[in-house]
Amino acid sequence: MSQPYQERVDWVDEDGRPIATVTRAEMRRRNLLHRVTATFVFHPDGRLFVQQRTATKDAYPGLFDMVVGGTVVSGETYEENACREIAEELGVRGVPVYHLFAHRFRDATTNSLIRVYACEYDGPVVFQPEEVADGFWAGLERVEALLDAGRMCPDSAAGWALFRRHFPTARTLADLTPGREPIDCTCWVPGPFPRG
């Protein structure tokens, strides 16, 4: 398994077309536009899983994150990445994952085309120690309190604002998915992609 800064990622244009393949370190150093997934993991009772990023993360170390996701590595699809990230970071496997919307985000830390997904899960959570320092199920009040305190990752905070705009009355995954076809993550098996 390669180290995080040796991962190869696609530098992409605004339409998501690859311009060049670069190391993750170069992508971070130059803040190049790249592809990212972000998956909301909901409990059946409507709570959202919130994780705290480790202090060694190359983006937003130590902050809380209301999504599970990461950088799509070169040769990987958004869908493969979404399935991989929830399995690696939290041990979530075999659940349908639904695409909700896409958005563009840029700040001084990251520059990304993000596809946002959601799934529902109530099984055991197993943290990936390199990525996740802690985590918990949170109701809307706790999520909003962390946002108000500036303790959430800015990119996922932006995604949450769009989520609330797109789905203002949603309380559970069932409210989000009418007419949407899921990604079948039961077919996903770990591939040759390094962690991201």
Q: Count other C-beta atoms under 10 Å from residue 116's C-beta.
A: 24
Which pLDDT band, with edges at 50, 70 and 90, does 190 fall under? Answer: low
CB within 8 Å of 74: residues ≥ 6 apart = 8, 9, 10, 18, 21
Residue 195 counted as domain residue: no
pLDDT for 4 beyond 70:
no
Give the pTM.
0.92
Q: What is the pLDDT of residues 9-42, one digit of tens each?
A: 999 999 999 999 999 999 999 999 999 999 999 9
Structurally, how many domains does the chain consist of? 1
Residue 141 counted as domain residue: yes
What range defines the domain where residue 71 resides?
A: 7-181
Residue 187 counted as domain residue: no
Tokens standing for residue 149: 């305190």
Which CATH number does the domain housing residue 89 bear? 3.90.79.10
Q: What is the pLDDT of residues 120-151, one digit of tens each?
A: 999 999 999 999 999 999 999 999 999 999 99
